[in-house]
Amino acid sequence: MIFGKRMVEIYHDMLEEYVHAGDTAIDATAGNGYDTEFLCRLVGDTGCVHAFDIQVQAIENTQARLEAAGLLERVRLHQTSHELMDMYISEGVAAFCFNLGYLPECSSGVITRASTTAAALEKALNALKIGGMGCVLCYYGHAGGAEELEIVDELLKSLPAKKYEVFRLENHNRAHQPPILYLIKRLR
Ligand SMILES: C[S@@+](CC[C@H](N)C(=O)[O-])C[C@H]1O[C@@H](n2cnc3c(N)ncnc32)[C@H](O)[C@@H]1O
């Protein structure tokens, strides 16, 4: 059921179905660590989450959140740009998530960018194991957001339908450019 839920809740519900104890997962945009924490709970004691962010503030916020939750052992925090994820991840991952845009309540002006997002998304798609799922939440109201949305949309639309199933979800009658959610499953 998706009615009455925020996009984040919708993709968390999906992740719950696809990520299990012992799995490896990727949070490509750690931010304040909400998604990282959620994934850490799903992978359990024997799993691992790789979380990326280019901002020190985001890595520190995520680390503090996980420490407070007693989940730090389950995460590898990488303060680097997400298109370098293949330097750290070799095994097939059960899931990935991208929550694009800027860190809430942060004045640094750092936002995700079309070219690096596209490069990272291609790497995450390649890392996904068969049966695994990915999600990309696109906010596009800010400067550069529309360009990023376009490149993400084109990339996902062009994926071979026999290999990946892709859904695009948006709240069609909400004002102020509500975010668009892509859900991806690797079929083979
Ligand atoms: C919308 S926030 C993510 C929110 C996060 N998922 C959460 O649960 O709090 C987007 C994040 O992407 C990060 N970011 C921007 N460019 C990046 C890049 N090239 N690689 C990794 N992270 C990046 C920003 O620093 C920001 O923290």
Q: In what helix (H) or strand (E) does residue 60 lie, and over which residues does it extend?
A: helix 56-69
Residue with tokens 């520190």: 60
Percent of the chain beyond pLDDT 90? 91
Nearest to 110 by CA among 31, 27, 28: 31
pLDDT at position 1: 82
| Residue 123: Cβ-neighbour burial (10 angstroms; 0-12, 13-18, 19+) | buried
Query: For ligand 1, is residue 57 a contact (CB within 6 Å)?
Result: no
Whose CA is closest to atom 3 on ligand 1? 31
Question: Across residues 57-82, what is the average pLDDT?
Answer: 98
d(CA 91, CA 127) in angstroms, rounded, equals 7
Q: Which of 35, 112, 181 to mutate to test the pocket of ligand 1 (most atoms within 8 A of CB)?
A: 112
Q: Is the pTM of this model over 0.95?
A: yes
Residues 174-186: tens digit of each pLDDT? 999 999 999 999 9
Burial class of residue 170 (count of CB atoms within 10 Å of its CB; 0-12, 13-18, 19+): middle
Using one digit for the tens of pLDDT, what is the confidence trace for 125-170? Answer: 999 999 999 999 999 988 889 999 999 999 999 999 999 999 999 9
At residue 160, the 3 state secondary structure works out as coil
pLDDT greater than 90 at residue 103: no
Nearest to 52 by CA among 91, 6, 99, 115: 99
The average pLDDT across 22-51 equals 98
Distance 29 CA to ligand 1 centre (A): 4
Q: What is the mean pLDDT of residues 58-74?
A: 98
| Residue 114 CB less than 6 A away from ligand 1 | no
